[in-house]
Structure 1
Amino acid sequence: MDHLHAISSYGLGLWDQGRLSPVAALGVPLGVLFHLALSRLGDAERFMYTLIAAMLFLMLGILSVSVFLGSSFLGALAGLCILASTFNVGLFSSMVIYRLFFHRLRRFPGPFDLKISRFFSVLRVAKEAKYHSDVAKMHERYGDFIRTGPRELCIVRDSAIPIIYGPNTNCHKPTCYIGFSIKALQTYEPRITTLVTKLADQVSNKRVLDATAWSMYLTFDVMGEVGFGKDFGCVSSGTNHPAIQSIRDHMHILGVLSHIPWLLNIVGRIPGASKSYRPLFSYCQSQVEKKREGIDLEKYPQDIMTWLLKAVVEKDVSASPTKESLLDDARLLIIAGSETSAAVLASALFYLAKFPRVLKKLQARIDDVISTPADWTYEKARSITYLDNFIDETQRLKPALLTGGYRRTPPEGILIDEQFVPGNVSVIVPIQLIQTDPRYWKQSADFIPERFGERSAEMGTGKAPYMPFSHGTYGCSGKNLALMTLRIAVSILAQRFDIAFAAGETGEVFDKEAKDTFTTYLKPLNLQFSPRK
């Protein structure tokens, strides 16, 4: 504090002498000119790291030159502070005026603060992480086209889905994983079935358990097995692997900072900031190295990481370009693949407990095809239409991603109905909101699996927007794996157990308090599992 007081006192003295006034006068127009130049280069996020490094280097250079030319260190530092302050006044004033009155998205309605900066979006979600609820409120106030950021649009129209997410879209995002082919899935099915059987055995012993936690144990084990050929041991132990728990403990922070991706990346690069994630990083790195050492290119890959390594060795166009990107793929594979399936499975169990009629109907349909648990096979389970109807309705009301992912419009822009959307902006159709919109879904808030089956024509399901796995080229490549896991888990558990809310559990907190983090974060759900007679 003494140093700051000395600098400020020294600076005020120089200001009184008139020596810093020219510096202050220079800072504002420089800030404005910098913003105008920056806006012509496109989105600064693409080169934010370089920009920050260049600005720090420039400030150090100005300070050094000032001292070299005869200024005292305090005088040079005071001048630099004045210049930086006035520069930022010019920069941010120009930025605010441009974004409000001259930006290509200026015609679109939306909250005043979000038009200025995504930092305000972070402030909105920091406390509860319910961005999907915020979007729903904005939709009610501003309509179908909402400006949710300086360069972001949220669009709540079914006609926007094929244009933004369809197979022939010109809107883009990064590519996804390989290793989810139908042939590959055939090698995963027996291992997933073994893990679900272990879960059923645990359920038999415990009778009452937290469906949210145990769904997560199962799906993390599945992704460990499918991703690396080795599960985490979560189902066997009834606890999270340390590598997984470290991430779970920080999903709220990840969800909040994900609204400013470049800031999340910078925070992650600060020494010590990613300490909590080291168990996962170390685990993934060790598994990748083991797979690399033991890879046999002549054998058909038995897990996704082997597929990824095989692509690198064979220099396939889908291969990860660097070692670090390969490790990133490994980490994202575990987190995204596990969290999403866990959220849907826990929600499915919630609906089975909440609606006994649905549970009884599902059990009857399973019994018609599979007379006893000993006769269960995946082929038989997959043939049960009502099982898929039930899973589809679960994902309609409670999709794994409540808001979804952004796409970038092409330079020429896109036309959605009567509305032209300019090029090079981020657009999104919020998944849960569009899938529960009463304009497209009859009895939109009600859980009716039959809308995907025998009542499909009556309820107009075929024309309604449904996108839990997104669509097109950039849709979720793990869709088939996720559906396989859900079919196996739901059919085995429903066949063997009657499911109800445990004593003292109503399901209200689970139902209403989901958080929109990197994926959907669910509250605990205590369920009673009673063996069927």
Structure 2
Amino acid sequence: MALLSLNLWQLFGAAIASLLLYSACKITYNLLFHPLRRFPGPLLMRATRWGYNLKRMRGTLPFDMLDLHRRYGPVVRVAPDELAFADPRAWRDIMGHQRTAGQASSFSSSAGGGSVSGEEFAKWEQHYRPVPGMTIDIVSAGREEHALLRRCLAHGFSDRSMREQQPLIKKYIDLLITRLWERAKSGNKVDIAAWYNWTTFDVIGDLAFGESFGCLENAGWHPWIKSFFEMGQAGTLIQSLAGYPLLLKLLLSMVPTRFREEHEKHQQQTMEKLKRRMAVTKERPDLIEGLLKKADEWGLTLEKLQANSGLLVIGGSETTATLLSGVTYLLLTNPETMKRLTTEIRGAFKSEDEIDFSSVSTLPYMLACLDEALRMYPPVPTGLPRVVPKGGATVAGNYVPESTVVAVHQWAMYHNEDHFKDPFEYHPERWLGDPAFANDNKEAFQPFHVGPRNCIGRNLAYIEMRLILARILWNFDLQIAEDSLDWMSRQRIWNLWDKGPLNVYLKPVER
């Protein structure tokens, strides 16, 4: 027995020694022999991906990226196989339409960039599909499937379709205003961030599934939405462990039963909503009508329809609500800007009925306020990583070897003094030709991204943001509550902002 025990300890010691030896060799290779060794970056991040993962799991990665670019320059090696870019040219080099192999070869030898092979920079699977077997959706799909899915969805997000949906969208904004009037009369503070979320989720629920989530009606969170937010931080942890299959498997085995049940319930509710929408026989020009029409022809299974419709709900609601929360906070903490915008809105209309899709599009200062909020508080503040295709690519004037992960981190790009004057200050005037900001590099600003995978929901986002903000400032004077004065500075980021309550007082406007 003693001999057996000794052998087990020897075996354990040998395993540990082998692991340490392997780690030492891997770190030595990453630092001294890796194809990316010439790119600068912190020692820990160049040596191992854990430097990057720890920042991501802490929820500080976008802020840390700005510090890294300030220290190391526009290209930083943030992991052994990953580069972060703060050069505006990188947007199109990474995400733009790729040329053919012949075009790319001559192009990359000149001042431009892009893939040498002409292939698209693929989505990095460890970020978009960290758990093996996850259903492919429009975000994680390859080039051909993405193009197919996008064609199906394009009409639903077109300007024409949005105008056809105006009565539906207006119905929920009317209900929002009614609910806020009820609460304004009490004099109590209101969590305006929650109300923005409830509105955008109800709108997108109807546009995607043919039914709202009932958030505005019940003044509360629907379980489907609540479970999504509860999984946000866990999702970041899963992404961080995606490159370590054994650790990921161990983590997933340790997930509490409650979370497993919540996830299964979330999936079940999505499927039930989808099936009810599919049972509608009358043609309904909403966001997924195109998908349903082509489902049989293109082999779109129920699971793929479920994954894509669920993704549309999240992408078409949370980001818009986040921006509305951000612009409201920035306006409340910049009183002169709020005054100028309020004057523009209340001077443009004789009655609230005049506020519609067309009329709000004629308010230049409102658009500038929204764009400046997108710069300071981008709803997707992190990088969306891509993988350099076979043959390598030129990105922002730098040759990058194949299989390298590359990304542009929005928050860090937009707060970089090299691109924007006074980047931590809220100045909508920078988007209106103010000469004080003439040297701003507007090409750095791509909140909806570029290329064939840019945000399909841009029209819907701008329509909702303009309408909701205009209606609220038409009806109410707002004052920020003392407990929310540091609302933005206390947040962390796990792919999306962990917002917390934004409490305000609403004073009805007397006319």
Shorter chain as denominator, the TM-score bin is 0.7 to 0.9
Once residues 384 and 90 of structure 2 are traced to their aligned partners in structure 1, the CA distance between those partners, rounded to angstroms, is 14
Secondary structure, counterpart of 2:477 in structure 1: strand
The letter for the 1-side match of 2:65 is V
Once residues 193 and 461 of structure 1 are traced to their aligned partners in structure 2, the CA distance between those partners, rounded to angstroms, is 36
Residue 200 of structure 2, aligned match among 214, 219, 231:
219
Once residues 268 and 311 of structure 1 are traced to their aligned partners in structure 2, the CA distance between those partners, rounded to angstroms, is 35
The reply on whether 1:527 has 2:511 as its aligned counterpart is no
1:492 CA displacement: 0.8
The reply on whether 1:290 has 2:276 as its aligned counterpart is yes
Equivalent residue, structure 2, for 1:106:
37
Equivalent residue, structure 2, for 1:303:
286
- After superposition, the Cα gap between the structure-2 partners of 1:449 and 1:218, relative to the gap in structure 1 and judged at 3 Å, is same
1:33-112 equivalence runs, <5 A: 88-89=19-20, 91-112=22-43
Once residues 244 and 261 of structure 2 are traced to their aligned partners in structure 1, the CA distance between those partners, rounded to angstroms, is 17
- After superposition, the Cα gap between the structure-2 partners of 1:260 and 1:478, relative to the gap in structure 1 and judged at 3 Å, is farther
Q: Residue 295 of structure 1 contacts residue 306 of structure 1 at CA under 8 Å; is this kept in 2?
A: no
1:87 CA displacement: 5.6
Once residues 338 and 115 of structure 1 are traced to their aligned partners in structure 2, the CA distance between those partners, rounded to angstroms, is 37
The letter for the 1-side match of 2:36 is L
Q: Which moved more, 1:303-312 or 1:515-524?
A: 303-312
The reply on whether 1:12 has 2:6 as its aligned counterpart is yes
Secondary structure, counterpart of 2:207 in structure 1: helix
1:380 CA displacement: 0.8
The reply on whether 1:143 has 2:73 as its aligned counterpart is yes
Residue 457 of structure 2, aligned match among 472, 478, 488:
478
1:467 CA displacement: 1.1
Once residues 437 and 79 of structure 2 are traced to their aligned partners in structure 1, the CA distance between those partners, rounded to angstroms, is 39
- After superposition, the Cα gap between the structure-2 partners of 1:136 and 1:374, relative to the gap in structure 1 and judged at 3 Å, is same
1:133 CA displacement: 1.4
* 1:143-174 superposed Cα distances (whole Å, 9 cap, x missing partner): 22111122211111122222122344542334
Secondary structure, counterpart of 1:294 in structure 2: coil
Secondary structure, counterpart of 1:390 in structure 2: helix
Residue 255 of structure 1, aligned match among 230, 236, 241:
236
1:525 CA displacement: 1.2
The letter for the 2-side match of 1:293 is A
Q: Residue 421 of structure 2 contacts residue 437 of structure 2 at CA under 8 Å; is this kept in 1?
A: no
Equivalent residue, structure 2, for 1:405:
384
The letter for the 2-side match of 1:139 is H
Q: Residue 452 of structure 1 contacts residue 461 of structure 1 at CA under 8 Å; is this kept in 2?
A: no
Equivalent residue, structure 2, for 1:45:
none
The letter for the 2-side match of 1:197 is D
Once residues 281 and 241 of structure 2 are traced to their aligned partners in structure 1, the CA distance between those partners, rounded to angstroms, is 38
Q: Residue 337 of structure 1 contacts residue 478 of structure 1 at CA under 8 Å; is this kept in 2?
A: yes
* 1:273-327 superposed Cα distances (whole Å, 9 cap, x missing partner): 633323321111111222333355xx3x432233322221232xxx74x433332
- After superposition, the Cα gap between the structure-2 partners of 1:14 and 1:528, relative to the gap in structure 1 and judged at 3 Å, is closer
1:90 CA displacement: 5.3
The reply on whether 1:345 has 2:295 as its aligned counterpart is no
Q: Residue 380 of structure 2 contacts residue 496 of structure 2 at CA under 8 Å; is this kept in 1?
A: yes
Secondary structure, counterpart of 1:313 in structure 2: coil
Higher relative contact order (CA closer than 8 Å, sequence separation 6+): 2
1:268 CA displacement: 5.6
1:209 CA displacement: 0.5
Secondary structure, counterpart of 2:488 in structure 1: helix
Q: TM-score, normalising length from structure 1? A: 0.78
Equivalent residue, structure 1, for 2:108:
none
- After superposition, the Cα gap between the structure-2 partners of 1:230 and 1:270, relative to the gap in structure 1 and judged at 3 Å, is farther
Secondary structure, counterpart of 2:190 in structure 1: strand
Equivalent residue, structure 1, for 2:211:
230
Q: Residue 291 of structure 1 contacts residue 306 of structure 1 at CA under 8 Å; is this kept in 2?
A: no
1:375 CA displacement: 2.5
Q: Residue 76 of structure 2 contacts residue 83 of structure 2 at CA under 8 Å; is this kept in 1?
A: yes
Residue 122 of structure 2, aligned match among 151, 172, 195:
172
Equivalent residue pairs, number: 454
Residue 314 of structure 2, aligned match among 335, 343, 348:
335
Q: Residue 66 of structure 2 contacts residue 416 of structure 2 at CA under 8 Å; is this kept in 1?
A: no
Once residues 435 and 206 of structure 2 are traced to their aligned partners in structure 1, the CA distance between those partners, rounded to angstroms, is 37
Once residues 61 and 8 of structure 2 are traced to their aligned partners in structure 1, the CA distance between those partners, rounded to angstroms, is 48
Once residues 525 and 165 of structure 1 are traced to their aligned partners in structure 2, the CA distance between those partners, rounded to angstroms, is 34
Once residues 447 and 239 of structure 2 are traced to their aligned partners in structure 1, the CA distance between those partners, rounded to angstroms, is 20
The letter for the 2-side match of 1:485 is E
Q: TM-score, normalising length from structure 2? A: 0.81
The letter for the 2-side match of 1:275 is E
Once residues 110 and 363 of structure 1 are traced to their aligned partners in structure 2, the CA distance between those partners, rounded to angstroms, is 46
Residue 507 of structure 1, aligned match among 465, 485, 488:
485
Q: Which moved more, 1:435-444 or 1:473-482?
A: 435-444
Q: Residue 77 of structure 2 contacts residue 83 of structure 2 at CA under 8 Å; is this kept in 1?
A: yes
**Greater Rg by CA:** 1
1:397 CA displacement: 0.6
1:489 CA displacement: 0.7
- After superposition, the Cα gap between the structure-2 partners of 1:257 and 1:527, relative to the gap in structure 1 and judged at 3 Å, is same
- After superposition, the Cα gap between the structure-2 partners of 1:466 and 1:155, relative to the gap in structure 1 and judged at 3 Å, is same
Q: Which moved more, 1:287-296 or 1:201-210?
A: 287-296
The letter for the 2-side match of 1:427 is V
* 1:237-280 superposed Cα distances (whole Å, 9 cap, x missing partner): 11100111112123122234333446698556888463332332
Equivalent residue, structure 1, for 2:477:
498
1:77-476 equivalence runs, <5 A: 88-89=19-20, 91-127=22-58, 129-168=59-98, 170-173=120-123, 174=140, 175=146, 177=150, 178=153, 179-207=156-184, 208-261=189-242, 272=257, 274-295=260-281, 299=283, 301-315=284-298, 320=300, 322-455=301-434, 459-461=438-440, 463-476=442-455
- After superposition, the Cα gap between the structure-2 partners of 1:98 and 1:462, relative to the gap in structure 1 and judged at 3 Å, is closer
Aligned residues with identical type, % of pairs: 24
Once residues 244 and 218 of structure 2 are traced to their aligned partners in structure 1, the CA distance between those partners, rounded to angstroms, is 37
Q: Residue 154 of structure 1 contacts residue 427 of structure 1 at CA under 8 Å; is this kept in 2?
A: yes
1:89 CA displacement: 4.8
The letter for the 1-side match of 2:438 is M
Q: Residue 352 of structure 1 contacts residue 499 of structure 1 at CA under 8 Å; is this kept in 2?
A: no
1:84 CA displacement: 5.7
The letter for the 2-side match of 1:406 is P
* 1:477-530 superposed Cα distances (whole Å, 9 cap, x missing partner): 11111111111111111111111112x33521x120222113222122111111
Once residues 158 and 451 of structure 1 are traced to their aligned partners in structure 2, the CA distance between those partners, rounded to angstroms, is 18
Secondary structure, counterpart of 1:304 in structure 2: coil
